[in-house]
Amino acid sequence: MTELNFDLIVVGCGAAGLSTAVSAAERGLKVAVLERSLREERGGQTRWTEAYLRMQSHDEVTDDFDLFLAENAGFYQDPDFVAETLSDRSAWSTQARNQAFIDASLIGTFAENVPGTIAWLKEQGVRFDFLPTQFLTSTQPRLLPVGGGEAIVECLAARAEALGVAFFYQTTARGLVSHELNRVAGLRAWSVERGALQFNGAVMLACGGFQGNLEMLSRYLGPKAAFIRPVCKGGYFNRGEGIQMALDIGAAAAGEYGNFHAEPVDPRSGISEPSIFIFPYGVLLNKEGKRFTDEAPGTVDAWYERVTRQILAQTEGIAWVILDQKVKDIPNYKLGIRTDQPAIEGATLAELARKLELPVQQVERSIAEYNAACRPGNWKPLELDGVATEGLQPPKSNWALPLDAGPYFAYPIISANVFTFGGLKIDEQARVINIDGAPIDNLYAAGEAAAMYFNNYCGGTSVLRGLVYGRRAGQTAAQVTA
């Protein structure tokens, strides 16, 4: 087995991995980046995302940033442990140090370091602007990198190359090297070109979650995992090895392993994020032809994930949004339809139901019951209007107009897995914590591999967390090496 020596070995070439590599190389470390894809496919999921950032300006996160993350940091937490984590980490008990919930200090450090990280990215050449999103209604602004996640990947990769970082493509990490308990000495990897390799040095795990691994998904999410697929091609590279290899040497787990960030997509499409965000203006029907959820409980950016999970709970994890011609009265309504596949149309509801292979009479009954429950109101398609159904279960809370203007059309919707919530527990320096609550020497994690979420995803924070904690890992590794 060929051995290669580096100060820091970064597993993964997305936002978390590249920010680590550049940050460390800027401080003089000899860095390697392992990427299981080809060079032209590098970047993991970052490459495919628009990379929404939850910021109200270029140097301020949104007002609800800390609060939203804190509210979704764990279920039914022991108040004694929570109280401990509000003090300095050195004073925490062992039980508080290794809990799966997300530490308040981790959230606070995240928020505090976002502005500096954005400024640093600008220095690397990344440009940002407030650009249109796919959300027709939203509660929070979204700053975006011009060119999306691909721009972040290519800019940071070019900077890393200029700093002398060594890239190993089609190379997959297989296991950590640990000659003694609680200390990592490197990792073993498999290269398509060079075979078995051993990299000696500190290790950063930035290789994503496990949304591309059906075995792990089934283990943690259950049999419904078979109906979920990654939201983009990059997600198939995220197979969970980084998380598993750290758990195997005693790392503490954190985050909600039985959950993931869900997005409504068209299963017929193979493009990146073929999302269907137009459903609040129609009616959702399952394979039985029945409604099963409130299609419009709030703005689509805040509620699409919870509605999508209701879709996953249906037979075979699929539903159809039924729309009529009135949807075309919504300004820029096509922004909410990202699929490249055409709508399925029918002159009548019966014709549409037959094309969808849904029970015709039940579809007609479901829409008739919905239409009868609609009440007149001041319809405002681009803001919450309170135009709701009356006496219908489940209700529709906004934009409840009758579906009576044919021809009708529909889109199928399934739940895509944007990323999994379960990962490794880290501290404010991105060091991986062991099951006894202490940092594991020479082991770091960031991005999807490091847990940050329970219950409901805080939109526009996933790319940011990878960038912030990746940069911090590079800084910490440089301090340790010095």
Query: Is the separation of the CB atoms in 161 and 27 below 8 Å?
Result: no
pLDDT computed for residue 98 by the predictor? 87
254 has a pLDDT exceeding 80: yes
From CA 434, how far away is CA 422, in angstroms rounded? 15
pLDDT-derived band at 1 (thresholds 50, 70, 90) equals confident
pLDDT tens, 369-404?
999 999 999 999 999 999 999 999 999 999 999 999
Tokens of 148: 């999306």
pLDDT-derived band at 70 (thresholds 50, 70, 90) equals very high
From CA 175, how far away is CA 198, in angstroms rounded? 10
pLDDT tens, 406-416?
999 999 999 99
Quick one: average pLDDT of 205-230? Answer: 96
Quick one: average pLDDT of 198-210? Answer: 98
pLDDT computed for residue 265 by the predictor? 98
Q: How many Cβ atoms from other residues are within 10 Å of residue 419's Cβ? A: 23
Query: Is the separation of the CB atoms in 450 and 297 below 8 Å?
Result: no
136 has a pLDDT exceeding 90: no
From CA 72, how far away is CA 76, in angstroms rounded? 11
Query: Is the separation of the CB atoms in 406 and 347 below 8 Å?
Result: yes
Alpha helices by DSSP H, listed for 190-288, are 214-221, 241-248
Helices 462-481, 148-162: inter-axial angle, 10-degree rounding: 10
Sign of the torsion angle spanned by Cα atoms 30, 33, 38, 43: negative
Backbone angles phi, psi at 228, to 5 degrees: -110, 145
Provide Rg for the chain, Cα atoms.
Answer: 23
Strand partners, 186: 177, 200
450 CA to centre of own chain = 12
Quick one: average pLDDT of 145-155? Answer: 95
pLDDT-derived band at 482 (thresholds 50, 70, 90) equals low
From CA 395, how far away is CA 292, in angstroms rounded? 9
Place of tokens 């078979």: 226
Query: Is the separation of the CB atoms in 145 and 126 below 8 Å?
Result: yes
Nearest to 120 by CA among 155, 144, 147, 168: 155
Quick one: average pLDDT of 325-345? Answer: 95
Tokens of 187: 């990792």
What are the residues whose beta carbons fall under 8 Å from the beta carbon of 10, sequence distance 6 or more? 17, 20, 21, 24, 31, 32, 33, 34, 204, 206
Of 48-52, 171-175, 353-357, 396-400, the one with minimum mean pLDDT is 48-52
From CA 152, how far away is CA 149, in angstroms rounded? 5
From CA 472, how far away is CA 114, in angstroms rounded? 11
Query: What is the β-pairing status of strands 439-445 and 195-205?
Result: parallel
Quick one: average pLDDT of 268-279? Answer: 95
What are the residues whose beta carbons fall under 8 Å from the beta carbon of 244, sequence distance 6 or more? 216
pLDDT computed for residue 433 by the predictor? 97
Of 133-142, 222-231, 349-358, 430-439, the one with minimum mean pLDDT is 133-142
Residue 318 burial (10 A CB sphere; 0-12, 13-18, 19+): middle
pLDDT computed for residue 408 by the predictor? 98
From CA 255, how far away is CA 450, in angstroms rounded? 8
247 has a pLDDT exceeding 90: yes
Looking at residue 341, what DSSP letter applies? S
From CA 445, how far away is CA 466, in angstroms rounded? 9
46 has a pLDDT exceeding 80: yes
DSSP-derived secondary structure for 57-102 = ETTEE-TTHHHHHHHTS-SS--HHHHHHHTS-GGG--HHHHT-SSP
pLDDT tens, 171-186?
999 999 998 899 999 9
Mark 3-36 as b/e (b = at least 16 C-beta within 10 Å).
Answer: ebebbbbbbbbbbbbbbbbbbbbbbebbbbbbbb
Query: Is the separation of the CB atoms in 326 and 401 below 8 Å?
Result: yes
